Chains A and B, each alone.
Chain A
């Protein structure tokens, strides 16, 4: 009889009731990792780490303690499927963004219709502060003025940690 397939990227820890998955950062964008993790936070504790630039590490522990090996393998399997789905969706939405936005806009605008006079009367026309992450609304002087140079935070490579949360 052949040995059951062991995925080298997955390891379970029955004492902690958790399963650990190593994720290749070149294959799965952070968007996808966040998306898949979010789907699981209602049934499991999900913790993310980045041991090095090439990898993410995900620790998943079912909220209900006492999961056995099969349950942990099933959980990480489902997480992997969700991760793949999110990764592909991230690509598709990027490629089809224009059509998705156009259809959604048409649908919501079609359903909402124009504002009524009373809604317009209550509308706040004052300028709310806009988010401007690229600094487009800033003047050139403001954007490139000299800043007080602060020393960079130390960036020495932190040693790889075991899956957190860890018991000390």
Chain B
């Protein structure tokens, strides 16, 4: 359906709307400024666009309820919702990434972080640098603060990880933040003592699983062993520990991330099965990014995004089937977009407008350099310092978040200034990554029609709205579960105790 196909338009009755034909469904999606939406059949859309909706008809009621009619437009509701969806603007960075080392004992074909060899001790963060980073973190205007340990493999520099946790807890006695810690690890350097420390200190644990063992081990080389077997062993052990501690294992479990390579694409069923067998209840079907080693390995690893979307649809269809049969597993992209569509903005930093760099997250490199985001430090390690905005030794908090690069990124990731996005039906739910554009186009603005990121975001939202439009109660039941955010209070540090 296309407006030019309609013989006569009367634009006097509609409120503001954007529209998009949903592929192969004979339906049209409408979205409004505040994130309201409606899926119409082609003939219903024609009547809407022609200003020929019958008075008192069910269609008129649906349009009115969804705030798409000028006569009944609820300005207050729209304004409140628009404001609510952007309440993240009122607070500073909540995600603080500490790159405690670049050293790593695994070697991944797509390594975005440009890992260093195990003897490269010069890439370890010192305790002094870590303390200065924590001092800055505690000045964030955000009452919620998560310190995320990344690498390399952060467990390589475990003494500094321990020190940061103890130092931050001590500092938090005065700062009184809702403080959390996350460890992003390949798990291979875990031992019982380290696990005990992490569990006692309520550190969330997150790892990478690239699918079935043969694929994981092919992509993530670990000298002298199977990276998959090791990760699987510790995932089960950690999940068991949560159970022993009396925690609800549907809520508390190891989070795992997938990096989708060309070899992953035919293995959508095996990937989902692997996650389900490991007890991972969330699967994030992330495509590869252009950072780090991808510059050299892209020819072997990259793929057209149309093929990725086929993979994505197959995998999520299969996950829906598993859910109907009682296995709880969700896809993270779907969960983020569905929450935006059906409930509210979940403040996912990479998919929001404006996006998170600088104003929602900060990165602290092992050498003390402060970057706008995780991708910023990946580029820095590759020799591009464009997203370095300070140094823990010399910068003040307000200098960092008020940096001109942060402001430029906030403007460039605002969809209301972006060609294509400004008219896109998915504008209320979407977001772009300036670092991605910088790498691919040489400009933080990028060009959406040529962006792989845009292709993925549009493709996923097409899929979700097709499913929503079908209105299958079983699917909608699963979708509703995927949008239910249950707080994981166990991971909150007790500010009073330090």
Spell out A's residues near B (CB within 8 Å).
Answer: 38-40, 42-43, 81-82, 85, 88-89, 92-93, 96, 99-100, 103-104, 106-108, 110-113, 115-116, 119
Contact = CB atoms under 8 A, between A and B. Distances in A.
A99 B401 contact: no
A93 B417 contact: yes
Contact of A110 (B89, B396, B398, B407): B89
A1 B361 CA distance: 56
A104 B354 contact: yes
Nearest to A103: B414
> Which 4 residue pairs of A and B lie closest in terms of their CB atoms, listed nearest first?
A111-B92, A113-B141, A111-B401, A88-B419
A107 B422 CA distance: 19
Nearest to A110: B90
Contact of B359 (A38, A81, A108, A116): A108
B385 interface: no
A90 B406 CA distance: 20
B356 to A, nearest CB: 10
B361 to A, nearest CB: 10
B90 A106 contact: yes
A125 to B, nearest CB: 17
Given A39-B443, A89-B445, A108 B406 contact: yes
A119 B443 contact: no
Given A96-B422, A119-B398, A103 B141 contact: no
Given A107-B354, A111-B93, A89 B419 contact: yes
A96 to B, nearest CB: 5
Nearest to A84: B419
A100 B89 CA distance: 13
Contact of B441 (A39, A89, A100, A113): A39
B416 A103 contact: yes
A160 B176 CA distance: 69
Contacts of B359: 107-108, 110-111
Nearest to B402: A112
Given A107-B359, A113-B92, A82 B443 contact: yes
Interface string B358-377: 11000000000000000000
B197 interface: no
Interface in B418-441: 418-419, 422, 441
B262 interface: no
B354, B406, B419, most chain A CB atoms within 10 A: B419
Contact of A111 (B141, B414, B416): B141
23 contacts: A39-B443, A42-B442, A82-B447, A89-B418, A89-B419, A89-B445, A92-B418, A92-B419, A96-B417, A99-B416, A103-B86, A103-B89, A103-B410, A104-B407, A104-B410, A106-B90, A110-B90, A110-B92, A110-B141, A111-B92, A111-B401, A113-B141, A116-B398
Contact of A108 (B86, B402, B419): B402
Contacts of A42: 442
A108 B401 contact: yes
A85 to B, nearest CB: 5
B16 interface: no
Nearest to A113: B141
Contacts of B406: 108, 111
A95 to B, nearest CB: 9
A112 B89 contact: no
Interface string B457-483: 000000000000000000000000000
Contacts of B191: none
Contacts of A88: 419
Contacts of B443: 38-39, 82
B372 to A, nearest CB: 11
Nearest to B422: A92
B170 to A, nearest CB: 21
A117 to B, nearest CB: 13
Contacts of B419: 85, 88-89, 92
Given A111-B358, A112-B402, A119-B398, A40 B89 contact: no
A156 B450 CA distance: 44
Contact of A89 (B92, B141, B396, B417): B417
B165 to A, nearest CB: 25
B422 A39 contact: no
Contact of B442 (A39, A108, A111, A112): A39
B411 A104 contact: yes
A146 to B, nearest CB: 42
Given A85-B419, A92-B419, A99-B416, A108 B410 contact: yes
Nearest to A96: B416
A31 to B, nearest CB: 13
Interface in B382-407: 396, 398, 401-402, 406-407
A162 to B, nearest CB: 27
Nearest to A102: B89
A81, A96, A107, most chain B CB atoms within 10 A: A107
Given A39-B442, A119-B396, A112 B410 contact: no
Contacts of A96: 416-417, 422
A98 B396 CA distance: 30
A43 B441 CA distance: 11
Contacts of A116: 398
A100 B447 contact: no
Interface string B273-313: 00000000000000000000000000000000000000000
A82 B445 CA distance: 10
A6 B418 CA distance: 31
A157 to B, nearest CB: 35
Nearest to B403: A108
A55 to B, nearest CB: 24
